Amino acid sequence: MDVSVESDTNTVCSGVTVLLVDSDSTCLTIISKMLRTFGYQVITAKRATDAFCVIQAREYKIDLVLAEACLPDMDKYELLETISDTSGIPIILMSADYDRKAVVGCLFKGAMLYMVKPITMDDLKNMWQFAFVPQPENESTVDEISGVEDAPSMESATGVDERPNLRKGKGKRKRSDEMQGDKEEDNDGTVIQKKPKLIWTDELHDRFLQAINVLGIKAHPKTILELMNVPGLKKVNVASHLQKYRLSLKRQQETIQKTMDIGSTLEHAASNHVLSEFDPLDVLLNFPDTQTMAVAQQQDITNCPTQENLDGYMSVPYTDCNQTGDEVTNNEGLELFQQMGNSEGVLMEENDIFNDEDYTSTLFDNFWDW
DNA sequence: TACGTAATAT
DNA sequence: AATATTACGT
């Protein structure tokens, strides 16, 4: 060991929180240890999407992202776009392969530094300084063009985020009394963030519905996933949601069946002059239970509660997120669908598409009108 | 291997 | 309550 770590070197980095992203467990462990040796606070993630979730969750103030350039779930340029551009957190990339073009490309895309593995202690020693390099405001470029004024991003309402986050005093992070399952700490004391649950926002769910509409009978988890084309969304997410969706469909059908049964009995009774003075249809409409059922059936059966959630998932720019190579289908509908999702990084106009009554079909109409 | 379903866990 | 995970049969 030619690098000796002195105690005063420790203090230099001790306020800097690094989000370490590497799919390789060994790298993750080693680099994490090295970082902690210098006094960095380390949060680890194995996938780009996990890292993104950590950042979006804003539970920790990340000063620096140190990420392996080759991650299984995201291309390095996409990683830079999604994380660096949206959060403004400085990103340092690392990789074993040293392709000059790639390095320059990453720098051009906003990376602070591209380090070639293996990472040495020296590589990490001064890395904290990047947390203090002012980041360009890249959100303004779009707004300047469109002439729209800066919309205050609402998460600044927390009023805290001033990066870099050098804690005064030796501020310990939240301790175990506040940890309820989504976090844990390994034997090193390295904080490991478990992947947060996916929240099916209205937008996400709409996209899901659209995919199902387009696919029709071929709507299976895999195909839906591909068609939705949402970074970070996994097949299991879709499968789980699909299961729930189908269950609710089934319940809906049963409800309809019940109403029809009641209707027919009433009709039957009326024809037997038991209730001859009532118009069966009228009875049906005014019969409290059946009415509720009819109303219930009109509503969107799958309306997930709106929550303040990972705007992350939907605010991710969709453009260029198909490096993972979606198979292009010849289906016209599919192409339309893709275009639509990729057009603006916005899924759908926020107008009054989403009203209660049968907004599925409204959406679908809108889809074809696109 | 992917899928669907039910049961169960978080 | 919503979502994730697991087990198991297809």
Task: Tell me the pLDDT of chain A averaged across its residues.
Answer: 65
Pairing of strands A183-185, A191-193: antiparallel
Q: What local confidence, expressed as pLDDT, does residue A35 receive?
A: 93
- The answer to whether A253 CB sits below 7 Å from nucleic acid chain B is no
Which residue gives the smallest C-alpha to C1' distance to B3?
A220
Of residues A136 and A324, more confidently modeled = A136
Query: Which bases of strand C sit closer than 7 A to a protein CB?
Result: 1-6
Supply the pLDDT for residue A370: 20
Span CA (A192) to C1' (C1), Å: 26
Question: Å between A245 CA and C7 C1'?
Answer: 21
Rounded CA-CA distance A69/A357 in Å is 46
pLDDT tens sequence across A165-212 = 433 333 333 333 444 455 666 655 566 666 678 999 998 999 999 999
Rounded distance between C-alpha atoms, residue A178 and residue A170, angstroms: 18
Give residue A352's pLDDT: 26
Confidence band of A95 (pLDDT split at 50, 70, 90): very high
CB of A310 within 7 Å of some strand C atom: no
> How does residue A22 score in pLDDT terms, banded at 50, 70 and 90?
very high
pLDDT, greater one: A333 or A45: A45
Beta-strand relationship, A113-116 and A91-95:
parallel
Amino acid letter for position A45: A
Whether nucleic acid strand B comes within 7 Å of the CB of A181, the answer is yes
Any strand C atom closer than 7 Å to A181 CB: no
Å from the A220 CA to the B3 C1': 8
Check if the beta carbon of residue A65 is closer than 8 Å to that of residue A90.
Answer: yes
Does residue A305 lie within 7 Å of nucleic acid chain C, judged by its CB?
A: yes
A221 touches strand B (CB under 7 A): yes
For the whole model, what pTM was predicted? 0.41
Cis peptide before A118 (omega within 30 of 0): yes
